[in-house]
Amino acid sequence: MLKEGDKAPVGVAVYDQNEHEITLGSFLANASHVVVYFYPKDNTPGCTKEACSFRDFNDEIRKLGVAVVGVSADSVASHRKFIGEYNLSFPLLSDPERKLIGAFGVWGKKKFMGKESEGTLRTTFLVSKDETVVHVWENVKPETHAFEVHEYLKRLFKNSMIAFDDFKKVELRTARVMKAERVKGSEKLLRLEVDLGERDAAGLPTVRQVIAGVAKEYAPEQLVGKTIIVVANLQPRILMKLESNGMLLAADAGDGKSVLLTTMEEVEPGAEIT
């Protein structure tokens, strides 16, 4: 069986539930990692619980930039039926010749109700974009395994280190809040107009619109005139049909509360944070 640090066989071709030839590498083309979970058989109690568990967590896992794929020795037709019956939201790969199963080393002897047999071992691998096995889960509990994987992924990305050159790409600047108002239809959002020291072609001051989720912590009037810290080079994002051109920095104060970061002394708008 492959272990952490091993090179994953991402080029082995098998078929998905739609009879398309596919490799794990094709999932990594659009994701930072892929969760590959091997299971014994479609429509059996444990495998159904595991599949439904991954179905229920798939949206949250996908938000982290991670793809999920299941693999067993079942036929394409069996996978198609299994997906339809339980509304599974991720692909299942058919590997009756055990090419991928064998490459990962998850075919072997197992015991069930005192009887020993050979089959696919219930094992999950996390594979990174550089084709490395990052983590292995063996002998998993089907009904709680997706939760376990999701928790691991959250810790992994929270603790991920970034290169200094990547950090230098983030442009942090001071901004003065000129106007603040609640976003209609939202309990969390405020619409802010902030001065980042920018000027238009005529040399006149301009303001940016920033949508911030701090309405539960701050009334609009509390923010007007405040100097805050903004990520100034973030791509625009649409929130409640409003374009946000930047992001405020805030500290997590616990219990879901946020505290805006500011400066100890008065600083002109647009000053770079270094």
Active site amino acids: 47
Asked if 175 and 192 touch (Cβ cutoff 8 Å), the reply is no
Q: Which two tokens stand for residue 160?
A: 């991920």
Q: Which amino acid is at 271?
A: A
Asked if 38 and 101 touch (Cβ cutoff 8 Å), the reply is yes
117 three-state secondary structure: strand
Residue 186 CB neighbours (<10 A):
15
Closest alpha carbon to 91 in 47, 149, 146, 36: 36
Closest alpha carbon to 123 in 26, 47, 66: 47
The whole-angstrom distance between residue 175's C-alpha and the CA centroid of its chain comes to 30
Asked if 26 and 127 touch (Cβ cutoff 8 Å), the reply is no
Which DSSP category does 183 fall into?
A: P
Cβ-Cβ contacts under 8 Å for 132 (sequence gap 6 or more) = 5, 6, 7, 8
Residue 150 CB neighbours (<10 A):
20
